[in-house]
Structure 1
Amino acid sequence: MTTLVTGAAGFIGAYVCRELQQRGERVVGLDSFNAYYDPQLKRDRVAALCAEVDIRPLDLTDREGLAALFDEYAPTRVIHLAAQAGVRYSLENPHAYVDSNLAGFVNMLELCRRRGVAHLVYASSSSVYGDSATPPFSEDQRIDQPRSLYAATKAANELMAHTYAHLYGLRATGLRFFTVYGPWGRPDMAPLLFSRAVLANRPIDVFNHGRMRRDFTFIDDIVAGVLGALENPPDQDPSHSAAPHRVFNLGNHTPVELERFIAVIEAAAGRNAEKVYKPMQPGDMIETMADTARAKAAFGFEPATSIEVGLPRVVAWCRDYFGTNA
C-alpha cells in the first residue's frame, strides 16, 4: 500500500511524511517548491524531517506529470495538502489560488477516481466558516459567506469532493485545519512572525488592536488527526443514498486571546514585544474555535498541546534556525 502526500515539503506535509515513514509505510511525495515563501526553508524542512521520502518537484497544474507519478507509484491512498495558502496573499494574487486550489484540485480528483484510489484525505481550512458561523464552529454550520478568495476556494474543494464521492464513489475526507503551528512552521503566520520579531527586537503588528482570538493547534496534534482520518475512511453506502464524503474540524477547541499568545512568546524569548496596534486586516476573522466532537467520535481526535507547551518550542526553533537577528 502506497500513500501519496502532496505538499510534502510544506509544514504539515513534511511532518505527515515523517510519521508515515516511521510507521514503516511506503510513502511518496510531491511539491512545487514555489516561492510563496523561501524555498530554502522547505528544502531544509525536508532534510530535517523526511529526507528519505521521494518528493517529486511537481505543480498541481501539470496533468501529465501528475499522471506519470500515479502510473509509477499507483498510490492506494492520497493525502492532498498542496494548495496556495494564505488569506492576505489571496488579495494580491488571486490567480494563484484559482490555479492551485481549483484547477489543481480537479486534477487530483480526476486521478484519484480514474486510478481507483481507496481514500482521499484533503486539506480544507477553518477560514471556510467566514461571517456565517458562530463559535464554536461545527461542521454542520453554513460556509457560504467566506471572507477571502482563499476561503472560497477551500469551501469549493469540499463541494467538489462531495460531488466526486456522489458521482463516482470516491471516498473522501476533508479536514478543516485551525491555525496550525510548531517548529518548521510557515514563516508568514503569526507564531513564527511574532517569535522572530521578538527575538530580534523588531516591532510586531497587532491587528484589530489585539481584540482577536485564535484556536492555535500544535503540529503533533494535527498529524495525529490527519492519520486518524486516513485510517478511518467514510463508509460506502451500497444504496448510493449517501455520498462517502465527510468533513472534520481539526483544532484545539481552546481559543486564545491574541494578547495572551504574545505574552507566552515574550516569556519564552525572555524579552518584551514592541507592539504596533492596527485595525482589522481585510479577509481576517476575529475569532476561530473548533467543535471537535465529530473527529473525536470518528477516530479519537483529542488535541493535548497548550500554547504554554507549544509556543516555547517554536521560539527555541526560531532561535536555532534563524538566530536572534533574522
Structure 2
Amino acid sequence: MRTATRAGALPQAETELDVLLARKETVADGVVRLTFRGLDGGPVPYWEPGAHLDLMLQDGLVRQYSLCGDPADRSTLRVAVLREPESRGGSRHVHDRLAEGDRVRVRGPRNHFALVEAERYLFVAGGIGVTPLVPMVAEAQARGADWRLVYGGRTRASMAFRDELCDRYGDRVSVRPQDETGLLDLDALLSEPRPGTAVYCCGPEPLLAAVERGCAHWPAGALHMERFAPKAGADAGPRDTFEVELALSGRTLVVPPDRSILEVVEESGVPVLSSCQEGTCGTCETAVLDGVPDHRDSLLTAEERAAGDTMMICVSRALGPRLVLEL
C-alpha cells in the first residue's frame, strides 16, 4: 500500500542477498514476526523507517513486508506477516513453511514511505498496517516531535505490538479494537486540519480510502499512505496501442492493448527490476524523458503524477502515441 510523499530519487540499484531466519515468533493472533541475520554475522543493509523488504520465497513468490525493527540495529532485519485468509501463497508460505534456520533470499530495503520532517505527526494504523509505523513512532519520539498513534484492529488479541507500544509510549497510543469500540472515529480525528501535521496511515483498503476522504480538505502533502494492494479502480481507462522508445538501449517497441510496458520491455531482452507487478511496490519505477504517462499505479502522489517524469511500467500506460523511457 503506498500513496505517499516520497523522499529520494529513483532507485538505481538494490541489494539482493541471502539471510538466515534466526527467529520466528507469534506476536498476535495470525501474525508472526521474522528476525533475519546475515549468513556471515555481518551487518545487514541500512534502512530507515517506512522501508520494506522483498522476500523471495519458493515457487517464484515475491512478497513485500514492512520492516518493523530498529534501524540502528545493523545485525537484524525484522518483518511481521499476517496470515491472509485470501492468501495468494505468500503469507501461507511464511506461516506454514518457513522455519528457523532457513536461508531466505531478500531484496531491498526500499523506501517509498519515508518519514518527512514535521512539527507534529498523526499515525493511523489498521491491523497489520501498524508494522511500518512502529519504527516511525520511535523516530518521531527521538526527534522530540509531538505525535499520536491511533491503532485499530479486529480484536486486542489480533493487534501486533499493542503491548509494546502502550508500555513504551503510554497515552500517546490509543488502542481501538473494533469488537470493543467500533470503527475508528475518523471524523473526530480528521475534521479539523492541523497546520504542520503530517498524517501517516497504513492498513486495509477501506481504512485508507476513508482517511483519504477525511484528509481531502487538509493541506496538500499532509497525507502519507502506504498500500500493498492496488487501489480500487487504479487500472481503469482505455488500453490503446502505443510506442515506447528505450533511450539507453536504442530500441523502439510497440505496446499492444493486452500487454504492459514491463512485459514488452522484458520480452525484448532489456532487464528491468520488478516485483509486485501491481503498481504498489515501486521496484519498476522508471524515468520518463518524453511523452505523457497514463498513471495507473497506487503509489505516486498527485504532484508526482502531474510532474510526469517517472512512472511504474508494470501497470501504467501512455496518454499519447509515444513515450521515451530511460531504459
Q: One fold, TM greater than 0.5? A: no
| Greater strand content | 2
- Normalising by structure 1, what TM-score? 0.32
